[in-house]
């Protein structure tokens, strides 16, 4: 049973927080006393979660749109005055596909969602996370470490967060980054 005091007063942003793993993360932080910002491009599930969980608010945001990400961080800090944790969770695993059936256009779109969204949002969050000595949690995938057949674009987008983001975040100064998944 989570203690409501564990993260009391802490402010957490979870991307893709409306459904699946992200919704579970939102619930766990909210039940531990944190204010949680549910970032999602789809409204319906996120609104239900917002109603169910005291301390959770929904901000619509497509992580592939830099303008949305700027608004997400600005609005979070305006409402709560701080940011303690960013969970980069929004992502997609396309159906299995042979290499010759993949397209560069689809690969680019997956990079925008699974990788560049986390990169841009982390950069925007850094000044606030430095102040709070906060954390970044990157929801990666075991596929990024061991590979997966018929999933080359997905594996590529999950490799960097899993294998190389820790040292990069260390360079950012006193931040703890933890790849998960």
Ligand X SMILES: NC(=O)c1ccc[n+]([C@@H]2O[C@H](COP(=O)([O-])OP(=O)(O)OC[C@H]3O[C@@H](n4cnc5c(N)ncnc54)[C@H](O)[C@@H]3O)[C@@H](O)[C@H]2O)c1
Provide the Cα torsion 107, 109, 114, 119; round to 10°. Answer: 110
Nearer Cβ to ligand X (21/152): 21
Query: From the candidates 7, 119, 154, 159, which is the catalytic residue?
Result: 154
Backbone angles phi, psi at 96, to 5 degrees: -55, 135
Minimum Å gap between C-beta 68 and ligand X is 8
Count of residues in the chain = 181
Active site residue 159: no
Integer Cα distance of 109 and 153 in angstroms: 10
Integer Cα distance of 116 and 122 in angstroms: 10
77 within 8 A of 83, measured Cβ to Cβ: yes
Nearer Cβ to ligand X (45/135): 45
> Which residues in this chain contact ligand X in the complex, by CB under 6 A?
15-16, 18-22, 40-42, 61-64, 89-91, 93, 113, 139, 141, 181
Minimum Å gap between C-beta 69 and ligand X is 9
Nearer Cβ to ligand X (4/93): 93
Minimum Å gap between C-beta 140 and ligand X is 7
Catalytic residues: 154
């Amino acid at each position: 049973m989570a203690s409501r005091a564990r993260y009391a007063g802490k402010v957490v942003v979870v991307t893709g927080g409306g459904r699946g793993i992200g919704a579970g993360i939102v619930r766990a932080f909210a039940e531990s006393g944190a204010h949680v910002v549910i970032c999602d491009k789809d409204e319906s599930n996120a609104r239900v979660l917002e109603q169910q969980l005291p301390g959770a608010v929904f901000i619509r945001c497509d992580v592939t749109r830099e303008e949305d990400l700027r608004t997400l961080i600005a609005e979070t800090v305006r409402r709560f005055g701080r940011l303690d944790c960013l969970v980069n969770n929004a992502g997609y695993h396309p159906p299995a596909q042979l290499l010759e059936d993949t397209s560069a256009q689809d690969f680019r779109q997956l990079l925008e969602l699974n990788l560049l969204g986390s990169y841009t949002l982390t950069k925007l969050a850094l000044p606030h996370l430095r102040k709070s000595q906060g954390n970044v949690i990157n929801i990666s995938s075991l596929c990024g470490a061991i590979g997966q057949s018929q999933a080359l674009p997905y594996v590529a987008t999950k490799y960097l967060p899993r294998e190389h983001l820790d040292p990069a975040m260390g360079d950012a100064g006193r931040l703890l980054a933890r790849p998960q998944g």
